[in-house]
């Protein structure tokens, strides 16, 4: 990928590591809907139409890593509701 070019993928497939992530089916559906309906629409507004799943997943994990308190809050919320 060319540095700074938002029309090129951030990293190649061979740079990715596939890991299992376990979540409830309803959470996966909500996540997939957010990716397809909201996140990809937002990217299209920036004229990005080629976002790969690996990039979207990577961004999601980076967001979680940068916001540990929010992740903990969501875990506690689920336990209280469960």
Q: Quickly count: other Cβ atoms within 10 Å of residue 56's Cβ.
A: 17
- Residue 2 is predicted with a pLDDT of 52
Distance from C-alpha of 11 to C-alpha of 4, rounded to nearest angstrom: 12
- Residue 4 is predicted with a pLDDT of 79
- Residue 29 is predicted with a pLDDT of 96
Compute CA 20 distance to the chain's CA centroid, rounded to the nearest angstrom: 14
Which residues make Cβ contacts (< 8 Å) with residue 52, sequence separation at least 6? 9, 13
- Residue 3 is predicted with a pLDDT of 67
- Residue 43 is predicted with a pLDDT of 96
- pLDDT beneath 50, residues of the chain: none
pTM for the whole structure: 0.81
């Amino acid at each position: 990928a060319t540095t700074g070019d938002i029309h090129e993928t951030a990293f190649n497939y061979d740079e990715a590591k596939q890991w299992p992530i376990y979540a409830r089916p309803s959470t996966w559906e909500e996540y997939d809907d957010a990716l397809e309906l909201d996140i990809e629409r937002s990217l299209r507004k920036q004229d990005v139409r080629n976002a790969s799943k690996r990039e979207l997943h990577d961004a999601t994990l980076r967001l979680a890593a940068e916001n540990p308190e929010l992740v903990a809050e969501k875990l506690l919320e689920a336990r209280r509701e469960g």
